[in-house]
Structure 1
Amino acid sequence: MRIGQGYDVHAFGEGDHVVVGGVRVPHERGVLAHSDGDVAIHALCDAMLGALALGDIGQHFPPTDPQWKDADSRAFLRHCRELAARDGWSLSNADVTVICERPKIGPHAQAMRETLAADLQVDAGRVSVKATTSEKLGFTGRGEGIAAMAVCLLTRG
């Protein structure tokens, strides 16, 4: 077994939506990011890469590389799944927590679970997506950005 954890954060900027867990969520702001800024997928990728002892998402998809400009983060997640499979690992389960005051994640959580599970080629019952606020404290509480944490368990086979 291998366990990994990840964390990601993006500030809000211009835009009319955010992408979280591979799902476009309407919002009065977008995120400042080189790719699509999907904090849930970025945190999950870091968790998987950590479990594999393969560094972090920035090493695999550097923000200085123009090919990743506005990239769909779902491609990053599929890459991490392929790296795991190459070495004989598969996802046992993943748990993702999105931290923000707005947008509300709950109405979209099931679609996020299904999207992440599809990219990871596992049953949606192995992927949890939940949300919390920071009770109006810190940058997420002030509505300045969005964050996510993720934990995963990889097993052989």
Structure 2
Amino acid sequence: MRVASAIDVHAFSAEPRPLMLACLEFSATGGLAGHSDADVAAHAAADALLIASGIGELGTVFGTDRPEWKGALGAALLGEAVRLVREGGWTIENVSIQIIGQKPRFAPRKDEAQEAMTKIVGAPVLLSATTTDHLGALGRVEGIAALATALLS
């Protein structure tokens, strides 16, 4: 068994772009800035999987020096991470993700997001969300963070 945790944080973009979170589109504008779609939940999950398997980490596998991943959906990054982990001989037991930010309101789409991510991962993905009670950069709605933990066997 191996377990690893990872965090991903992205600031809101000054440019109009979709807000992607937990492999779902939450709005057509108000998205996060990043090399790919900046889906913090998908990125944190992929990172935790890669770290637990010993393959590497998100930045080394899908880094900004890899033009083929520019603009990629978090679902695609997560799917590729899953493929690499399985190719390495690991079984994904589960992934737990907590999203941290003041917006968007996540609870109404939690079940939909869990279903979408579970389908990609091929193992249970549990999601939760919290705020920082308006403290710090996340509390000032400057961005969103996600913390993920992956368990492999």
Q: What is the alpha-carbon root mean square deviation over aligned residues?
A: 1.4
Across the two proteins, how many residue pairs are aligned to each other? 152
Contact 1:41 1:77 in 2 (8 A): yes
Question: Which residue of structure 2 lines up, in the alignment, with residue 44 of structure 1?
Answer: 45
Report which stretch shifted further, 86-95 or 22-31: 22-31
Contact 1:5 1:151 in 2 (8 A): yes
Question: Which residue of structure 1 lines up, in the alignment, with residue 83 of structure 2?
Answer: 82
After superposing on structure 2, the runs of 4+ consecutive aligned residues of structure 1 that deviate more than 3 Å are none
Indicate which of 135, 140, 143 corresponds to 2:141: 143
Question: Which residue of structure 2 lines up, in the alignment, with residue 35 of structure 1?
Answer: 36
Question: Which residue of structure 2 lines up, in the alignment, with residue 3 of structure 1?
Answer: 3
SS at match of 1:36: coil
Q: Distance in 2 between matches of 1:71 and 1:152?
A: 22
SS at match of 1:85: helix
Alignment TM-score, normalising by the size of structure 1: 0.91
Q: Distance in 1 between matches of 2:88 and 2:33?
A: 34
Q: Distance in 1 between matches of 2:18 and 2:92?
A: 29
Alpha-carbon shift at residue 66 of structure 1 (Å): 2.1
Alignment TM-score, normalising by the size of structure 2: 0.93
Question: Which residue of structure 1 lines up, in the alignment, with residue 126 of structure 2?
Answer: 128
Superposed counterparts of 1:38-77, under 5 Å: 38-77=39-78
Question: Which residue of structure 2 lines up, in the alignment, with residue 25 of structure 1?
Answer: 26
Alpha-carbon shift at residue 79 of structure 1 (Å): 1.3
Report which stretch shifted further, 19-28 or 145-154: 19-28
Contact 1:15 1:31 in 2 (8 A): no
Alpha-carbon shift at residue 64 of structure 1 (Å): 2.7
CA gap of 1:87–1:69, structure 2 versus 1, over 3 A, is closer
Question: Which residue of structure 2 lines up, in the alignment, with residue 91 of structure 1?
Answer: 92
SS at match of 1:101: coil
Pairing 1:12–2:45 present? no
Question: Which residue of structure 2 lines up, in the alignment, with residue 103 of structure 1?
Answer: 104
Alpha-carbon shift at residue 51 of structure 1 (Å): 0.4
Q: Identity across aligned pairs (percent)?
A: 36
Higher relative strand content: 1
Contact 1:16 1:30 in 2 (8 A): yes
Q: Which runs of 5+ in 1 are unaligned?
A: none
